[in-house]
Amino acid sequence: MTDATAAELPRLVIEGLHKRFGAVAATAGVDLEVRPRELHALIGPNGAGKTTLISQIAGEIFPDQGRILIDGRDVTRMAAYARAGQGLARSFQITQLFTDFTALDNVAMAIQARQGGNWRCFGSARQDRSLREPAMAHLTAVGLGHRADEVVADLAHGECRQLELAVALAAEASLLLLDEPMAGLGPEESRQMTRILQGLKGRYAILLVEHDMDAVFALADRVTVLVYGRTLFTGTPDEVRAHPEVRAAYLGDGV
């Protein structure tokens, strides 16, 4: 393989993924590719299977059929923690923040965990510049540098979202699964999160599940539309807006 072809290898490939819950086919044949440094949005009506798909990519549930490849490596049966070693991080629906610690502490702990450190020794590590400096850089990247010394319990909801993103970045993730980052945010917080994701775009491969169509169309390089657990269409935001079946199945509903 030449360097050029290696550079173009998709970060994430989903092939023919199926997952049933009893009678419900939550994922019923999904194909999807996320290219290097692409921000790829996943949209679809409620119940289309978006979260089920993200959970399979993260390794929290296993598919019945199909394959998941990260950087060409088959991870379909790999445990969730091992996928983190492949550069994968999921954020927003499952992240646990330590509410009695500061924003900076939370990010520093994520770095320490990534390095194989022990959180019980964290008190002494708080003063460790090798943790604090990169932690501050991640906080700054998500627009939270000025709140570094705030205890998490005192942060606003939107700021916790920003911190969760910093924690994912601290895990040295290069392939981010972002599950509804705008959920529960007010209009100004959503715009702030859109600006933050715009700043991360091009530095990471991102698969973004989001119902906020303004954010999706502002951010995405490409969009995949899921309907009834299947890939209906993948294209640029303009192609998705113009696609008759997508309009009928999703956008035409005034979503």
Ligand X SMILES: Nc1ncnc2c1ncn2[C@@H]1O[C@H](COP(=O)(O)OP(=O)(O)OP(=O)(O)O)[C@@H](O)[C@H]1O
Q: In the numeric block, which tokens belong to residue 230? A: 């299947």
Nearest residue (CB) to ligand X, 48 versus 68 = 48
- Spatial distance between the Cα atoms of 223 and 175, rounded to a whole number of angstroms: 16
Distance CA 24, CA 226 (A): 15
With respect to ligand X, which residue has the nearer C-beta, 122 or 250? 250
3-state secondary structure the chain: CCHHHHHHCCCEEEEEEEEEECCEEEEEEEEEEECCCCEEEEECCCCCCHHHHHHHHHCCCCCCEEEEEECCEECCCCCHHHHHCCCEEEECCCCCCCCCCEHHHHHHHHHHHHCCCCHHHHHHHCCCHHHHHHHHHHHHHCCCHHHCCCEHHHCCHHHHHHHHHHHHHHCCCCEEEEECCCCCCCHHHHHHHHHHHHHHECCEEEEEECCCHHHHHHHCCEEEEEECCEEEEEECHHHHHHCHHHHHHCHHHCC
Judged by CB, which is closer to ligand X: 171, or 216?
216
Q: How far is the CB of 53 from ligand X (least distance, A)?
A: 7
Q: What residues have CB less than 8 Å from 45, skipping those under 6 apart?
A: 227, 249, 250, 253, 255
The residues, ordered by sequence, that sit 6+ positions from 153 with a Cβ below 8 Å of its Cβ are 99, 100
Residue number, 44 or 158, with CB nearest to ligand X:
44
Shortest spacing between CB 125 and ligand X, in angstroms: 37
Q: Rule CB under 6 A: which residues touch ligand X?
A: 21, 24, 26, 44, 46-52
Shortest distance in whole angstroms from residue 161 CB to ligand X: 17
Which one, 114 or 211, has the nearer CB to ligand X?
Answer: 211
Choose between 141 and 234: whose C-beta lies nearer to ligand X: 234
Q: Which is nearer to ligand X, 21 or 119 (CB)?
A: 21
